[in-house]
Amino acid sequence: MKTIFFVIGGLIIGTISATTVSSGGKSTRLNFMISNQSLEHKNARLVIELDGKRVFMETMPVQSQHFYKQFSYDVSFGPHTLALEETQIPVNHRAVIDVDKESWVHIKFAHNKLTNHHHFIVEIDDKPIFIK
């Protein structure tokens, strides 16, 4: 399973996704990796909610752009609502992700110099994501 959302100003500008299987009441682990990639906003206050429950709220520094925070949650198979927010600018985004096996969710807060907008990029994969 791999899903990539490209989001600018709360609008999805492109996605790649794969089909999922029926849940059958199963559960798995959802692993999150969060990073601030915005050189224009070096200390982003990021909030993440999963199915309406706040699971992360921290000020994330850019540092070397290779800095990230990681945490995991056990979730049931099926759709889950992911809500992302940077509280100082503000920028927010909501997406529904389908989970059918252990997955890694990489959330990047970034700035597009061409449009001068901050946005979130969410990558979901079935293996750990290499931080570039």
Averaged pLDDT score across all residues of the chain: 82
Given a contact cutoff of 8 angstroms between Cβ atoms, the answer to whether 50 and 75 are in contact is yes
Whether residue 52 is predicted with pLDDT greater than 70 in this model: the reply is yes
**What is the CATH T-level fold of the domain 3-125, as seen in this structure?**
Immunoglobulin-like (2.60.40)
pLDDT-derived band at 16, boundaries 50, 70, 90: very low
Whether residue 19 is predicted with pLDDT greater than 50 in this model: the reply is no
Q: Residue 4: what are its φ and ψ, rounded to 5°?
A: -125, 130
pLDDT, position 131: 61
Q: Is the pTM of this model over 0.85?
A: no
Give the C-alpha distances (Å, rounded to integers) separating 118 from 25, 38, 103.
38, 8, 26
Domain boundaries, the chain: 3-125
Pairing outcome for strands 3-8 and 11-16: antiparallel
